[in-house]
Amino acid sequence: MAASSLRQSVSLLLSILLLILSQKGFCNKYTREDFPSDFVFGAGTSAYQYEGAVAEDGRKPSIWDKFTQEGRAPDKSNGDVTADGYHKYKEDVKLMSDLGLEAYKFSISWSRLLPDGRGAINPKGLEYYNNLINELVKQGIKLHVALYHGDLPQSLQDEYGGWLNTRIVEDFKEYANVCFREFGDRVSHWTTFSQPNIMTIGGYDYGTFAPGRCSYPFGVNCTVGNSTTEPYIVVHNILLTHAQVVKLYKNTYQTNQGGWIGMNVYSLWYYPLSDSLADIEATQRVKDFLMGWILEPLVFGDYPKIMKKNVGSRLPSFTQQQTELVKGSFDFIGLNYYTSSYVTDSPNNSHLVLRDFSKDMFAKTRGFLNETASEGPPTHMLSDPLGLQNMLEYLKNKFANPAIYIEENGYGLGAIKMLHDTDRINYLRDYIGSILNALRNGANVKGYFVWSLVDLFELLAGYKSSYGLYYVDFDDEKRKRVPKLSAHWYSNFIKNIEGDAVGEKSLASQ
């Protein structure tokens, strides 16, 4: 009795102490229980950025391997080893389980599963994904799997120009069919494409992403490509491929496997720089070009009016049959969202003969980061949680309230070992709070994934930026993982443990 009442007093004292601590530290204005019980909290990675083992067990190169081999990553690095997920997946699933993750978002490497892009399955590739998937199932972690995160088999790029050629549709369909057939019994959510809008702008307009195509005067150091036309052709072919793959899944697999299928878009929230009508209209144009490019075909069956007007004959058009196929071809929209940007009107662009995607908008976007902070690799990111709430409510109103999973959101810090990442905690806490606000205002948000589970190769910054909940020592052959304070915070939040600044010792390193 005495012992138990002493324990009660001590625990009461502790609770008071924790309350004080949490109010001084990372006071949440909400808990996990404020979210619906079927809302999932997870974290993510992507194949090229996470797996490494690029020339192992039969995997053949993707366009990202070639791009980085040519020294075109921002820090001239590559994903040859990166976080070594190919060998460490089992330990990583253990970390996820320790964290209490309810879901994991990852992507499949097409050229690991089908090394030549089509034809024979690589048995080692099949085994790797089956092992990973089974491990996740064993830990009760839901699977959100992307078929494509920018890493086209190089053989298909060489053979017929990859996404520039409609031949890609059949090859991708065959690859998707293998994935559904082999893994679909255990996958709850399929994302056909991760951020095709920004991947295409990077890969075919600026030349800063694989396959690094662009043309003068746009982009950087281009020798091949056409920034004026190619971005539109590529996204068109991606949309047609997506629609075919969704049809395949719905007709052949969905009834038995019971999963959902959707498409992801990269997004920024945009604010007009001034109150002028010109800037306000320019802001809408930018939203239409960046997000409407993907979402209007999916929801309404055609490109935004303003794109058709400004891009003219360079914008491919949908036949009636294609419109019917593309329209409504999703169960959910995956959203990647990090920050916001200002927009100013830029009518002068209209006089240019040569135009690329950015000039077709007749608008200039200006990073939300201010001039000092935006130079060089990102070491500091301005947080705009309200932007995410704005975005979710905009999607609800403009696109008939689609089911949304936030498939990427996170905070980049420089390549320093910063385990006490309080800025990241503040960022995650504020963004999750903004999602709750949007939910309460009727947005149909169903899940949230922190980018990224562990530090890895960043497409925009190589190893000069890190987003992981776990720090990875890239100088250590074993790629040891160490939980950052944000991992403890996120874990406590998911597990509904109060006093979220404590429990620092509960997560192990691997």
Ligand X SMILES: *[C@@H]1O[C@H](CO)[C@@H](O)[C@H](O)[C@H]1NC(C)=O
- Closest approach of ligand X to the CB of residue 377, in Å: 13
What is the distance between the alpha carbons of residues 71 and 60, in angstroms, rounded to a whole number? Answer: 19
CB crowding 96-133: b at 16 or more within 10 Å, else e: bebbbbbbbbbbbbbbbbbbebbeeebebbbebbeebb
H helix intervals, 186-274: 196-200, 230-248, 254-257
Under rule CB under 6 A, residue 370 binds ligand X: yes
Using CB under 6 A as the binding criterion, the count of chain residues that bind ligand X stands at 12
Give the x/- contact pattern for ligand X in 14-53, rule: CB under 6 A.
----------------------------------------
Identity of the residue, 381 or 482, whose beta carbon is nearer to ligand X in the bound complex: 381
CB 191 within 8 A of CB 238: no
Q: Which residues does residue 365 pair with via DSSP β-bridges, in sequence order?
A: 343
How close are the terminal C-alpha atoms of the chain, in Å? Answer: 41
Under rule CB under 6 A, residue 380 binds ligand X: yes
- Closest approach of ligand X to the CB of residue 170, in Å: 25
Under rule CB under 6 A, residue 350 binds ligand X: no
Q: For the segment 170-229, give every residue that binds ligand X (CB under 6 A).
A: 215, 220-221, 226, 228-229
Which has the closest alpha carbon to 487: 152, 101, 22? Answer: 101
Interface region with ligand X, contact rule CB under 6 A, candidates 337-345, 367-375, 461-469, 495-503: 367-375
Examine residue 452 and say whether the peptide bond preceding it is cis (omega within 30 degrees of 0).
yes
Identity of the residue, 68 or 491, whose beta carbon is nearer to ligand X in the bound complex: 68
Q: Which runs of E-coded beta strand occur in 194-345? A: 260-272, 332-345
Identity of the residue, 191 or 228, whose beta carbon is nearer to ligand X in the bound complex: 228
Identity of the residue, 270 or 489, whose beta carbon is nearer to ligand X in the bound complex: 270
Identity of the residue, 311 or 435, whose beta carbon is nearer to ligand X in the bound complex: 311
Identity of the residue, 114 or 461, whose beta carbon is nearer to ligand X in the bound complex: 461
Q: Using the rule CB under 6 A, which residue among 131, 134, 348, 397 binds ligand X?
A: 348
Give the residue carrying structure tokens 């690799």.
377
Which has the closest alpha carbon to 66: 52, 79, 82? Answer: 79
- Closest approach of ligand X to the CB of residue 36, in Å: 35
Which has the closest alpha carbon to 215: 420, 12, 348, 355? Answer: 355
Interface region with ligand X, contact rule CB under 6 A, candidates 137-145, 336-344, 358-366, 372-380: 372-380
- Closest approach of ligand X to the CB of residue 78, in Å: 14
Give the residue carrying structure tokens 């409407």.
292
Under rule CB under 6 A, residue 340 binds ligand X: no
CB 178 within 8 A of CB 113: yes
Read off the tokens for 466. 């890190």
- Closest approach of ligand X to the CB of residue 187, in Å: 37
Identity of the residue, 66 or 380, whose beta carbon is nearer to ligand X in the bound complex: 380
Q: For the segment 49-108, give every residue that binds ligand X (CB under 6 A).
A: 72
Q: Which runs of E-coded beta strand occur in 179-231? A: 189-193
Under rule CB under 6 A, residue 346 binds ligand X: no
Element (H, E) at 43: strand 40-44
Identity of the residue, 68 or 389, whose beta carbon is nearer to ligand X in the bound complex: 68
3-state DSSP of 314-330: HCCCCCHHHHHHHCCCC
Phi, psi of 446 (to 5 degrees): -125, -5
- Closest approach of ligand X to the CB of residue 276, in Å: 16
CB 484 within 8 A of CB 471: yes
Identity of the residue, 248 or 418, whose beta carbon is nearer to ligand X in the bound complex: 418
- Closest approach of ligand X to the CB of residue 234, in Å: 13
Using CB under 6 A as the criterion, which residues of the chain lie in contact with ligand X when the complex forms? 72, 215, 220-221, 226, 228-229, 348, 370, 372-373, 380
